[in-house]
Amino acid sequence: MAFSPPPPAEAPSYPSLADRPRQARVPRISPVRTDEHPDPSRAPLVLIAEDHEDSRDALRTLLDAFGYRVVEACNGRQAVELARAERPDLILMDMMMPQVDGFQATREIRSIESLHGVPIVALTAMEGARDRVMQAGCDDMVPKPLDVRAFLDRVRVWTTPGRAT
């Protein structure tokens, strides 16, 4: 007895492209690269300093998916304390936070000798903030809203061993 596949399902027809249901445009990013961080305990540790919980969750989820270890701070004061305690490989710093903002937190972190080599990347929606964040001591800046590919590229650059600083 020969196997014959079922007939193909008929695709819905639409009078015009305008009548076709719209699909959300989701950026395609490369799949998780397990070869990038094969030993999870040795994966780079990233400190996310962000006061908006939804933004922290989104960043954590994205970084987790790419094999990074993550610690989170919800304000600048906590970011300084966690940076001192954990000595992360990278700090992602929101510049507009309550209590101690990202500018002050960055200056405080830069004053801690054991953290001098830790890169700090500013995350900000502020227009024209590049000079200001660099003067505060940040090494780089990623504008909000984030372009996922560009963001992941920056994280990779700053967490790659032997990077030029």
CATH number at residue 71: 3.40.50.2300
Number of folded domains that form the chain: 1
Choice between 58 and 37, residue whose per-residue pLDDT is larger: 58
Whether 112 shows a pLDDT value over 90: the answer reads yes
Domain that holds residue 71: 39-159
What was the pLDDT predicted at 7? 54
pLDDT band at 99 (very low <50, low <70, confident <90, very high): confident
In a domain, 144, yes or no: yes
Mean pLDDT of 69-86: 98
- What percent of the chain has a predicted confidence (pLDDT) above 70? 75
Q: Once rounded to an integer, what is the mean pLDDT over residues 80-100?
A: 96
In a domain, 16, yes or no: no
**Is a pLDDT exceeding 80 seen at residue 73?**
yes
Judged against a pLDDT cut of 50, whether residue 98 lies above it is answered with yes
17 in any annotated domain: no
Give yes or no for residue 151 having a pLDDT over 90: yes
Looking at the chain, the whole-number percentage of residues with pLDDT higher than 90 is 66
Per residue in 63-91, is it b (16+ CB within 10 Å) or e — as a string? beebbbbbbbbbbbbbbbebbeeeebbbb
148-159 and 53-65 helices, crossing angle to 10°: 70
The answer to whether residue 25 sits within a structural domain is no
Residue 62 lies in a domain: yes
